């Protein structure tokens, strides 16, 4: 019997080069679709093992559906602008001057080497735009997050646009650009005004904004730039170790204060603010008092460990999308992770998330769509091997992949495969908060 796994795919995808005769395996029934996994007689796994229920098998066949138009266009552009390679180079997709993803160690770094848009008036031609916000005068301890956008862009060159287990290639599904950095002024209020204007410009053109911080004080001007373009309430999902809900800190609106002021915006009510991962010894009591008085929702790390990431994401979506919310904003602070994983931040705190926990949480809360996202508090001078900046990059890429796969941004890839394994069934967020 030479029937391959996933029999609906074209025969050109088979057979495997190591098994040109096909797989003489016995089909195994699957509850969702039949004959997608087959077990060889002398397979090292027990006969109860069904490849079709595992992400590894699903992803192999998902890749065949992604297409390559974006890649071909990039190669053509690289050769047009960077000249054909020397005659001795056999691979004619290589150019003389580096102009694309490869090599990862070369080129001028935008975020993930995406298109640099010098004329921001043309941003409406894109689905998403990366905005650097090198601002850290809202810092109350270790400064240096003004260098965060540069660090994130630099290490993002390590990544391509395809993710195996998520089954997506952003090059094929998303038109995105990097608009560079906001010219931040060395004054908190003037800096906030600059940030709000820049973010508002991108959002007003119907483009998804991705902000690279910068300290967490930028959360307020970011939301202030987006909220006027949302026809209804905006929910906020805030992943952090700190509540950041004080009115002022040291007499200014610092990085401990964004959500006090963001939830004063008329269509960003505090009852739609949910904070995930809060805890530790860096929680100023004035901020806790504000949250209690305003009715915000907080889940600590212990809460999330006990209930599980999937349940925490479900609660976050219920709260953020409650009370008729029309959009949700995502704020991700890298210090929400255990300090051992993210040394490059201003306020490290032991006991936070593990990387795989927070990445799954980010993917789950992005499923229903977002109106914008920020990644904040990367301070590269304290980092080790760029691992904090790399985590920030991964967070952005996973959120974008989720938005694309869920049809919330860009062009949703077509597929004949069932949903990927381990992905919980979508539950509609409740319309009213309980």
Query: Which tens digits make up the pLDDT trace of 227-269?
Result: 999 999 999 999 999 999 998 877 777 888 899 999 999 999 9
Q: What is the C-alpha to C-alpha distance for residues 386 and 111, in angstroms, rounded to an integer? A: 15
Residue 67, sorted as left (phi over 0), alpha (psi -120 to 50) or beta, turns out to be left
Domain boundary among 107, 135, 164: 107
Instruction: State whether 266 and 400 are in the same domain.
Output: yes
Averaged confidence pLDDT in the chain:
88
Instruction: State whether 130 and 242 are in the same domain.
Output: yes
**Spacing of C-alpha 259 from chain mean position:** 21
Residue 235's SS3 state is strand
Residues 137-172 have pLDDT tens digits of 999 889 999 999 999 999 999 999 999 999 999 999
Is the residue at 387 inside a domain? yes
- Whether pTM > 0.85 for this model: the answer is yes
Contact (CB, 8 A) for 252 and 188: yes
Q: What mean pLDDT is predicted for residues 417-433?
A: 69
What's residue 37's pLDDT? 46
Instruction: State whether 361 and 308 are in the same domain.
Output: yes
Contact (CB, 8 A) for 239 and 277: yes
Is the residue at 276 inside a domain? yes
Instruction: State whether 102 and 221 are in the same domain.
Output: no
Instruction: State whether 132 and 31 are in the same domain.
Output: no
Q: Which residue has the higher pLDDT, 192 or 33?
A: 192
Report which of 410, 275, 261 is spatially closest to residue 330, judged by C-alpha positions.
275
What's residue 284's pLDDT? 87
Is the residue at 2 inside a domain? no
Query: Which pLDDT band, with edges at 50, 70 and 90, does 282 fall under?
Result: confident
Instruction: State whether 71 and 58 are in the same domain.
Output: no
Residue 73 CA: distances (Å) to CA of 102, 106, 172, 269: 14, 20, 10, 44
Question: Domain of 23?
Answer: 11-63
Residue 288's SS3 state is helix
Q: What mean pLDDT is predicted for residues 314-323?
A: 97
Residue 88's SS3 state is coil
Q: What percent of the chain has pLDDT over 70?
A: 86
Instruction: State whether 101 and 225 are in the same domain.
Output: no
* 102 pLDDT above the threshold of 60: yes
Instruction: State whether 77 and 226 are in the same domain.
Output: no
Strand ranges inside 74-221, DSSP E: 115-116, 128-133, 162-163, 168-169, 176-181, 208-213
* 27 pLDDT above the threshold of 90: no
Residues 180-201 have pLDDT tens digits of 999 999 999 999 999 999 999 9
Instruction: State whether 193 and 129 are in the same domain.
Output: yes
For residue 240, the domain's CATH number is 3.40.800.10
Instruction: State whether 229 and 81 are in the same domain.
Output: no
Instruction: State whether 141 and 31 are in the same domain.
Output: no
Residues 231-240 have pLDDT tens digits of 999 999 999 9
User: Which phi and psi angles does 130 have, rounded to 5°?
Assistant: -90, 130
Q: What mean pLDDT is predicted for residues 93-115?
A: 93
Contact (CB, 8 A) for 167 and 60: no
* 58 pLDDT above the threshold of 90: no
Is the residue at 346 inside a domain? yes
**What own/partner pairs with CB < 8 Å and gap ≥ 24 does 339-344 have?**
341/387, 341/388, 341/391, 342/387, 342/388, 342/391, 343/382, 343/383, 343/384, 343/387, 343/388, 344/151, 344/378, 344/379, 344/380, 344/381, 344/382, 344/383, 344/384, 344/386, 344/387, 344/388, 344/389
- Domains of the chain: total: 3
Query: Which pLDDT band, with edges at 50, 70 and 90, does 363 fall under?
Result: very high
Is the residue at 428 inside a domain? no
Query: Which pLDDT band, with edges at 50, 70 and 90, does 221 fall under?
Result: very high
* 72 pLDDT above the threshold of 90: yes
Is the residue at 180 inside a domain? yes
Q: What mean pLDDT is predicted for residues 126-141?
A: 96
């Amino acid at each position: 019997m030479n029937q391959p796994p996933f029999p609906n795919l074209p025969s050109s995808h088979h057979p495997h080069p190591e098994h040109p005769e096909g797989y003489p395996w016995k089909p195994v029934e699957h509850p969702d679709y039949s004959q997608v996994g087959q077990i060889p007689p002398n397979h090292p796994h027990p006969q109860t093992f069904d490849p079709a229920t595992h992400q590894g098998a699903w992803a192999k066949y998902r890749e065949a559906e992604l297409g390559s138009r974006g890649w071909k266009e990039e190669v053509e552009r690289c050769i047009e602008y960077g000249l054909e390679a020397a005659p001795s180079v056999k691979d004619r997709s290589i150019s003389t001057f580096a102009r694309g993803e490869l090599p990862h160690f070369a080129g001028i770094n935008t975020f993930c080497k995406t298109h640099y848009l010098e004329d921001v008036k043309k941003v409406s031609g894109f689905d998403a735009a990366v905005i650097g916000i090198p601002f850290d005068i809202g810092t109350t301890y270790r400064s240096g997050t003004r260098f965060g956008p540069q660090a994130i862009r630099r290490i993002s060159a390590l990544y391509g646009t395809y993710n195996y287990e998520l089954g997506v290639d952003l090059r094929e599904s998303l038109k995105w650009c990097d608009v560079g950095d906001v010219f931040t002024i060395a004054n908190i209020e003037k800096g906030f005004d600059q940030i709000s204007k820049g973010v508002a410009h991108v959002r007003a053109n119907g483009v998804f904004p991705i902000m690279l911080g910068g300290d967490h004080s930028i959360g307020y001007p970011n939301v202030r730039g987006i909220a006027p373009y949302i026809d209804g309430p905006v929910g906020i999902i805030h992943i952090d170790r700190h509540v950041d809900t004080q009115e002022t800190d040291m007499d200014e609106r610092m990085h401990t204060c964004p959500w006090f002021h963001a939830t004063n915006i008329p269509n960003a009510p505090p009852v739609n603010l949910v904070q995930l991962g809060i805890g530790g010894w860096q929680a100023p009591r004035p901020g806790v008092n504000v949250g209690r008085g305003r009715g915000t929702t907080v889940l600590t790390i212990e809460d999330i460990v006990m209930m599980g990431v999937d349940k925490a994401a479900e609660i976050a979506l219920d709260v953020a999308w409650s009370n008729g919310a029309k959009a949700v904003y995502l704020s991700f602070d890298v210090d929400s992770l255990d300090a051992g994983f993210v040394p490059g931040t201003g306020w490290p705190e032991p006991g936070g998330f593990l990387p795989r926990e927070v990445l799954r949480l980010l993917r789950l809360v992005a499923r229903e769509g977002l109106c914008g996202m920020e990644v904040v508090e990367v301070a590269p001078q304290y980092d080790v091997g760029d691992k904090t900046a790399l985590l920030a990059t991964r967070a952005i890429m996973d959120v974008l992949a989720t938005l694309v796969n869920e049809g919330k941004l860009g062009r949703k890839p077509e597929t004949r495969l069932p949903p990927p394994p381990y992905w919980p069934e979508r539950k509609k967020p409740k319309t009213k908060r309980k």
